[in-house]
A and B are shown apart, each in its own frame.
Chain A
Amino acid sequence: KNEVEQSPQNLTAQEGEFITINCSYSVGISALHWLQQHPGGGIVSLFMLSSGKKKHGRLIATINIQEKHSSLHITASHPRDSAVYICAVKRGNQFYFGTGTSLTVIP
């Protein structure tokens, strides 16, 4: 069993749809990252969360430390949002990564 589980693994949406990607983890952590990896491999760190909620443009990330769960929401999705979204947590000196959610937004 992976320490970090993401769902769904693959997601196809129509442009404009509201998208939610979920991340559950089984270890105690102090904070969590959401990463975006574009085709070709470039990675961008979207959010680092330790509690509550953060918003950046059309992206919103929430975390519930007690329930060991985080969600990444994309409002008014656009084809340029097509990418792999990775949830990552750190516990002590150990990093744990989810396997990613591949999002395709169709025009």
Chain B
Amino acid sequence: GAVVSQHPSRVICKSGTSVKIECRSLDFQATTMFWYRQFPKQSLMLMATSNEGSKATYEQGVEKDKFLINHASLTLSTLTVTSAHPEDSSFYICSASKGGAWDTQYFGPGTRLTVL
């Protein structure tokens, strides 16, 4: 149990377009979902934490108008990268927990975004 999926797994887009990434908890209700990005050969960087039905809490330095996060239900959160630029190219990973931020997190497989 406790499976998290992400879609798409890979996406290539042109500069200036918007890209939506979905994160789903398949067999549990996720009270809290997290979005991370990872640059090549670097560790994870938390972008934001979202609780179902409320606005996401963004980490310092993360532009909330650029990275729109919606957690509309207990099983789905979306990250939309708006007006994507090549520097947004990265590996985006979501995780979900049944409880709060210090409950066990279950990670999705990640989405590789390449902006041309």
Contact = CB atoms under 8 A, between A and B. Distances in A.
B104 A48 contact: yes
Given A41-B38, A41-B109, A44-B107, A88 B102 contact: no
Interface string B50-64: 000000010100000
Scoring B44, B59, B93, B112 by chain A CB atoms within 10 A of each residue's CB, the highest score goes to: B44
B43 A98 contact: yes
Contacts, number: 47
Nearest to A88: B44
Contact of B107 (A30, A45, A98, A99): A45
Scoring B49, B91, B102 by chain A CB atoms within 10 A of each residue's CB, the highest score goes to: B102
Contacts of A45: 95, 104-107
Contacts of B38: 41
Given A31-B102, A43-B93, A43-B95, A86 B107 contact: no
Judged by DSSP, the binding face of A is strand
A25 interface: no
Contact of A93 (B42, B57, B107): B57
Contact of A30 (B57, B93, B102): B102
Nearest to A93: B57
Contact of B110 (A41, A93, A95, A99): A41
Interface string B84-101: 000000010101000001
Contact of A97 (B44, B57, B101): B44
Nearest to A43: B107
B46 interface: yes
Nearest to A95: B46
Scoring B59, B107, B112 by chain A CB atoms within 10 A of each residue's CB, the highest score goes to: B107
Interface of A: 30-31, 33, 35, 40-45, 48, 86, 88, 90, 93-95, 97-100
27 contacts: A30-B102, A31-B102, A33-B105, A35-B44, A35-B107, A41-B91, A41-B93, A41-B110, A42-B107, A42-B109, A42-B110, A43-B93, A43-B95, A43-B110, A45-B104, A45-B106, A45-B107, A48-B102, A90-B101, A93-B49, A93-B57, A94-B59, A95-B59, A97-B44, A97-B46, A99-B43, A100-B43
